[in-house]
Amino acid sequence: SAQSTLGRSRRWREVLERATKVAPTDTTVLLSGESGTGKEVVARFIHRGSTRAGGPFVALNCAALPEHVLEAELFGKSAHPGRLEQAAGGVLVLDEVAEMPPNVQARLLRVLQDGEFQRVGGTRTLRADVRILAATHRDLAAAIRNGTFREDLYNRLAVFDIALPPLRERRDDIPLLVEAFLHEVGQSIGRPAAGVSDDAIAALTAHAWPGNVRELRNAIERAVILSEGGLVTAAHLPIEMPPRVGN
């Protein structure tokens, strides 16, 4: 995605600085932030800057699967290798790690402690040659307090943590992101917009963006389609206009 590491704001520069420092190591990283803030973008940035850049980048969403399916997907089952084996030599991203059930947490802890695991129902011990990056939009400290997340696992995952700011806390980056998304969407739908009007930029910058960068990109895609190759104006945006100053 064009926006991969775009941003001039202090908050976003801090994120990239932390990611740049940790990338060349093999340290486990915990990425936290609201949905749509770019956790996968930062995970890919870390992968590209790591010694494992030539290896696979594999992601698994822990919230998307029932417990037994998640366990088999992660560790493998009988003759089927799981994501830990698929990511060998590379990076494994565990997204929405707060949703991981207790028994899967216990098995993952062993991977982080001993660097080994067994497939579900298997007896052979396998080496885990992966770097693990975990991501969550939840407050893991609260999950530990209410007993749904293991503190020892948290301590292993959060050796190095990176907190991603919501888009409303990095508004300076919005015009830059809009320009990148305009170009990206224009290429993907084969019909670039002529540009963005000042009133549209004002509306985009003032909006709170609860869905963050992902929501902004969707809004731009819709606006480019509606503008039919002309200028994107505030009328093409699915957001309320900011009140005019002085009214």
CA angle at 3 for the pair 212 and 221, rounded to the nearest 5°: 65
Whether pLDDT at 245 is above 60: no
Q: Give 230's pLDDT tier (boundaries 50, 70, 90).
A: confident
The last residue of a domain, from among 109, 141, 165:
165
Residue 216 contacts residue 237 (beta carbons within 8 Å): no
Same domain (yes/no): 152, 194 = no
CATH number at residue 106: 3.40.50.300
Same domain (yes/no): 28, 144 = yes
Same domain (yes/no): 116, 211 = no
Task: Please state the domain count of the chain.
Answer: 2
Ranges 1-10, 25-34, 107-116: which has the least confidence? 1-10
Same domain (yes/no): 173, 161 = no
What pTM value is reported for the model? 0.88
Would you say residue 16 lies in a domain? yes
Question: Quick one: pLDDT at residue 6?
Answer: 78
Strands (DSSP E) along the chain, which ranges? 29-32, 57-61, 91-95, 116-117, 126-127, 131-136, 160-163, 195-196, 231-232
